[in-house]
Amino acid sequence: MGSCVSCEKGAVGERKKDPAERQSQIAPTASPSEMSRSEVSKGGEHTTFISNHGLRSPSLTYEELDVATERFAQEHFLGKGGFGEVYKGVLDGNHVAIKILNPKGMQGTREFFTEVMVLNRLDHPNLVKLVGYCAEWAQKLLVYEYMPLGSLETHLFDLPPDKKPLDWNTRMKILAGAAQGLQHLHVNTDPPIINRDVKCSNILLGEGYHPKLSDFGLAKLGPTGDDTHVSTRVMGTPGYCAPEYLESGQLTLRSDIYSFGVVILEVITGRRALDQTRSRDERNLAEWATPLINQKEYSILADPALSGQYSKTSLVQALSVAQLCIQKTARQRPLITEVASALSHISSRRSGSSR
C-alpha cells in the first residue's frame, strides 16, 4: 500500500466528523480473541467494529508458520511491500504466501485486522483467499493462498528481455475478472465494501492468468441509507486516488471506479499510473491519456509491447470504459456492474490477431 498523504488537502491529523460519516469500521484495534466485543477504546476514542463470530480463517501459531517457511529461509522470500516481507511456505501440504507485518512499515495493527475481517466476510473466485492469520504479541502475520504468477504489475512494467509481454486477450481476461471481484465488494456485500487501494500490484494472478484482488488493509464500509459518502483520512496510492477523494476525504464506491479506470489504462498502455521518469505532461497516466482518447488517437495509447497485435475495435471499447471510469466528477462514472459487463463483453470477443 502506498499513501496519498503527500497530495492531501487538510486530511492530515484527526478525521473531521461529517453527518454522513459512518461510525462503523471494518477493523478493530484489538486482538482476534477480543473481537467478540462490540467496541474497543484506544486513546479516549471508541471504535465500533464488526464482530468476528464465525470467522472462517483459523488463528495460527508463529511456530507453525516458522516451520512452514523453514524459519523464513531466504530461498522462500517472494518480495516486500508496504505490509512487510512475503515468504512462500507449505501449510498442510498446500503452498501459501505468508506476509509478516513490519512494525516500522506503512501499515499497522488496524490494517492487519481490517484485512482479517474483510477477507473472512468474503468468498469469491476473484478475491484472494485468506488461509489464516497469526497475532501473537508483536508477531502479526497473514497467510494467503499462493498465487504462482505474482502480481499484474510484474507482467506489465520493466519486463526483462526473456519475459514475454501479456497478449491482448489475456489483458482483457484479467481486467474482466478483476472487475468481477470489485463488483462482489460493491454489490454482493451488505454494507458494500470500498477497497480504497485498487491497483495493479494488488491484482494477483493464478494459473491461466486468473486474477484475484488482494490487499484489503485500507478497506472501508461504504455509505448506506441516506448517506452519500464516508468521510475519512485520505489514504491510497498516488496516481490512483479519485480527485474528489483527494480534495475532501469524501469516499464513495465511485472512488474505486476511478482507481480501476487507471488500472485499465495501465493494462492497455503498459505505462505506470504515475511515472516521474517521463516528461511533465506524461507523468500522470490519466491526465496524459484523457486528451488522446478525446482526440481518438487510440493507437498511440496501445502498449508498444503488443506490436500491433490487438483488435482495434476492442481497443476503442476498452479505452471508452477507462475514459468513463476516470471522469473527474464522481457521479459521471459508471457503476461497477456496468464496468464489469462491458469488460466481460470485450473479453468474450477474443481477438484473432493477438499473439
Active site residues: 197
Per DSSP bridges, beta strands 130-136 and 139-145 are antiparallel
Contact (CB, 8 A) for 223 and 184: no
Which cell numbers in the block locate residue 133?
Answer: 492469520
Contact by Cβ (8 Å): 355, 167: yes
What distance in Å separates the CA atoms of residue 84 and residue 107, rounded to the nearest whole number?
Answer: 8
- Tell me the DSSP string of 66-118: HHHTTTT-GGGEEEE-SSEEEEEEEETTEEEEEEEE-TTSS--HHHHHHHHHH
The CA–CA distances, whole Å, from 92 to 30, 67, 68, 97, 323 equal: 28, 11, 9, 13, 45
| Residue in the structure block whose three cell numbers are 517472494 | 78
* Rounded Cα–Cα distance for residues 105 and 339 (Å): 34
Instruction: Report the alpha-carbon angle 24-26-32, nearest 5.
Output: 120
